[in-house]
Each structure stands twice: as structure tokens, then as C-alpha cells.
Amino acid sequence: MDLAALLDRIADDVAPEVGRGAVAGYIPALARVEPWRFGMAVAEVDGAVHGVGDWEHPFSVQSMSKVFTLALALSRGDGVWKRVGREPSGDPFNSLVQLEHEDGIPRNPFINAGALVVTDELASHGDAADALLAFLRQESGNTEIAVDSEVAASEAAHADRNRALAYFMASYGNMRHPVPSVLDQYVRQCSIAMSCADVARSALFLARHGIRNDGSRLLGLSAAKRINAVMLTCGTYDAAGEFAYRVGLPGKSGVGGGIVAIVPGRCAVCVWSPGLDARGNSVAGVAALDRFTTLTGWSVF
């Protein structure tokens, strides 16, 4: 398969979708991103990376960070599953409603409430955002990956919903550290800026059933399988059914317009285009992954 030529073709095919949708407005710094951006990278398990468009341009990873923090938490044991579920929520990513009926246990680690619990779990071992940065730099080989401080400040100034989620869970005893500290770590991890190439390389351990780029094992086979399974069922929130239908891969989106998807045993893919649909997923990004699995036949089904 000539992946470079394939990516060129996908970029042509989805060009009419680029710029459609709306950039995230609830974090003001994200609203300034140019909506016409499009990039896509594929990292193969042997380390080869191919890309098209803005594939080396850094953007805000936002909720894609939740895959990596979950992996880091599970690499230290599976205690986090006592505090967070693994069922699709069917509700928006920042919804509060299910927590009250479900004893402050979030449905899954990829909605905001669940990711706050994962950050709280990681915080028992040191600063969660620092641990995440170290991991991403090592896996991608890019030591310049950093928190975008403008995005972090903007998000921190508009974090009332996440603050409410965290305090609500604290009221059920599902928050071990002070909410302001957990929120600060969560906001910084969401505000990390990376390119599609960086993200695809960093996610390869999920395509390699838990093996990192240096050959060491981050996760056991089961934990890697489970993260992929939860990405498939919960990674694109209340659009997870539609994403599985169209793309057929484990995937995780972010409101920065990125989506990371895994082809187990073969490659990790990251696509970025900032225009979002009503559920917070990149319009051109989903279209590009839909073309990718259609043209390659590489889906998990």
C-alpha cells in the first residue's frame, strides 16, 4: 500500500469538507484557530510515518490527551476502574446529568468527568500533566512538545463546567486531591500542542498491543485491548455509534479538531481539521478517516 499516495488522495477527496462545521468557541483561544487547516499522518508499527497537508503543524490536543492519561494510569494498575465506568454515555462530553443517579461514578474515562477522575488518580504519583508531557516527548521523539500557555490560561478562565463536575464528584467521595489542583493538571494536559505526526507516533503503543517505541512494554495485552475497546465505544461521545458505523476503528476526538484512530497490529492515524460538528468531532476529520478505512479496508470489522 502506497500510504503517501493514499493520503494525497484522501486530502483531495475531503477538501470540500474542510472548513465546514464550527471551531470550538467555549475556549476563546481555540476560536482563533484557522478553520481551513487540514493535516493527516499515519505511523506504521515499524516506525515509518507518512503525512499530508498540515501534518507537522502543532494544534491543541484537547480530549485526545484522555487516551494517554488513561494509558498512564492503567500502566500503574487498574484501580481507576473502581472509580470510572466503561459504558458509552450517550450524552455530551461535558454533561453532568448521569453523575447524580450513578453515585458520582462517571460513565467512562473519555467524557470530561471520567478524565478528571483519571487525572486525580495519576496525581497520586506526581503532576499528571508533567507525566503526560514526558511520555509524549519520549514516544514522539519530539522534545519540543509543550503546553500552549495561552490555551491553558484561556481554558482555566472558562472552566466552570469542569469545576462543577469535579466538585460534584468530590461530594460523592470520588476525588482524592483538591479540585483546584486536579483542574489545573487537567487543563494543562488538554492544552498540550502537538502535530498529527507527533500524536500518531505517540499512539503507536495501542497499535502494538502495549509496546512502546523503545520496545519496552507500557501495558499488558488486555489493558491495550481494553483501551482500544473503550475508544471504539466512547471515544467520540454521543457520536460513537455513528463513528463506528462510518470509520470502524477505535478513535478519540478533541475539540481542537484532532482525532486519533488505531488500526491494531498495523498503524496509528491522526487527522486534524478544526471545524467541528454539533457533538464536538472534526467534520473533515471523520470524513478523512471514513475514506481511509474505505480505501484501505483496514477497519476492525
3-state secondary structure of 235: coil
Number of residues that bind ligand DON (CB under 6 A): 12
- Closest residue to bound ligand DON by CB: 63
- Residue 63 or 140: the one with the smaller Cβ distance to ligand DON is 63
* 237 annotated to a ligand binding site: yes
Q: What would the x/- binding string for ligand DON be over residues 179 to 208, using CB under 6 A?
A: -----------x------------------
- Residue 83 or 188: the one with the smaller Cβ distance to ligand DON is 188
Q: Rule CB under 6 A: say whether 162 interacts with ligand DON.
A: yes
Q: What would the x/- binding string for ligand DON be over residues 33 to 72, using CB under 6 A?
A: -----------------------------xx---------
Which residue in the set 155, 198, 238, 290 belongs to the binding site for ligand DON (CB under 6 A)? 155
Say if residues 232 and 282 touch (Cβ distance below 8 Å): no
Q: Rule CB under 6 A: say whether 273 interacts with ligand DON.
A: no
Provide the b/e sequence for 57-89 (b: ≥16 CB within 10 Å): bbbbbbbbbbbbbbbbbbbeeeebeebbbbebb
Smallest distance from the beta carbon of 250 to ligand DON, in angstroms? 15
- Strand residue runs (E) in the chain: 39-44, 49-53, 59-60, 146-147, 192-194, 251-253, 258-263, 267-272
Q: Rule CB under 6 A: say whether 254 interacts with ligand DON.
A: yes
Catalytic residues: 63, 66, 186, 237, 255
| Residue 235: how many other CB atoms lie within 10 Å | 32
| Residue 244: how many other CB atoms lie within 10 Å | 19
